[in-house]
Amino acid sequence: MLEIDALPAFNDNYIWLLRNPARKECAVVDPGDAAPVRAWLAAHPDWRLTDILITHHHFDHVGGTTALQQETAARVYGPATEKIPVCDHALNDADTISVLDHAFQILHVPGHTLGHIAYYHEAATPLLFCGDTLFAAGCGRLFEGTAEQMHESLTRLAALPDATLVYCAHEYTLSNLRFAQAVEPHNPAIVARIAEVEGWRATGRISLPSSLQLERATNPFLRCQETSVKQMVAAERNVQAEDTKAIFAALRAWKDHF
């Protein structure tokens, strides 16, 4: 079993630390800052950083990569179509890699950036490291890709098993849920999730990981086929309620100015 910790970085980023206790080896996902990883390694001197997994090229996800690779000789994996610092292994859709003796499938999920990838580990409890594509109760902004690309990427991720744990890269959950409630004010799952996350954050607990089952129930960007979402977005943004792609694009535009 992999053990997973969150290393906070910047204002709201998480660097995910994956650990194989049997081997005393670890990997990190999207180290935008080397300092939190260095601090963890200094506190655990018998552990070795062997792998660095990058989802996309934005600085808050890659900024610490060069320093960590130079200090630890860790292997660096990243999307083949984006410029990733010191990338040893350029990855494309459907590639499979072995990290800490566990297999990860590569999923190309463009939208936030054009080359964005996610890392999926199939197991009894599957793991998804999805960077800035799928957030808890939300999705990433469209900096490079189109709404259609993001919709297709999220549809692909939503098809993964219910039990999949979603490890995204930012603590945006509460703000995303407030938007979700504006879209579906009568969704009891959203109301319950807001109360739960508010309680967690008040005590300093992080809101991640989420699960795909929970996302399907509360994330408006995975619910564009639901009548409640279509009707609200159609009324708010003046689009055709039966055009799911148009609903998604309007929903993303609404969130941009929420």
CB 122 within 8 A of CB 2: no
Active site residue 12: no
Active site residue 116: no
CB 223 within 8 A of CB 230: no
Active site residue: 57, 108, 112, 121, which one?
Answer: 112
Active site residue: 57, 60, 108, 151, which one?
Answer: 60
Active site residue: 56, 108, 116, 151, which one?
Answer: 56
Active site residue: 57, 61, 121, 151, which one?
Answer: 61
What is the CB-side half-sphere exposure of residue 174 using CA atoms within 13 A?
13
Q: Known binder of ligand: residue 95?
A: no
Active site residue 132: yes
Active site residue: 57, 116, 151, 170, which one?
Answer: 170
Report DSSP letters for 16-80, one per residue: EEEEETTTTEEEEE--S-HHHHHHHHHH-TT-EEEEEE-S---HHHHTTHHHHHHHH--EEEEET
Active site residue: 57, 58, 121, 151, which one?
Answer: 58
Q: What angle do CA 18, 193, 168 make, to 5 degrees?
A: 30
Q: Known binder of ligand: residue 58?
A: yes
Supply the DSSP symbol for 124: S
Q: What angle do CA 184, 211, 213 make, to 5 degrees?
A: 60
Q: Known binder of ligand: residue 44?
A: no
Q: Known binder of ligand: residue 112?
A: yes
Supply the DSSP symbol for 131: E
Active site residue 58: yes
Active site residue 112: yes
Tokens, residue 162? 């219910």
Active site residue 56: yes
CB 140 within 8 A of CB 118: no
Pairing status of strand 134-135 against strand 138-139: antiparallel
Q: Known binder of ligand: residue 257?
A: no
Q: Mark the binding-site residues for Zn(2+), compressed into ranges.
A: 56, 58, 60-61, 112, 132, 170
Q: Which active-site residues does the annotation give?
A: 56, 58, 60-61, 112, 132, 170
Q: Mark the binding-site residues, compressed into ranges.
A: 56, 58, 60-61, 112, 132, 170
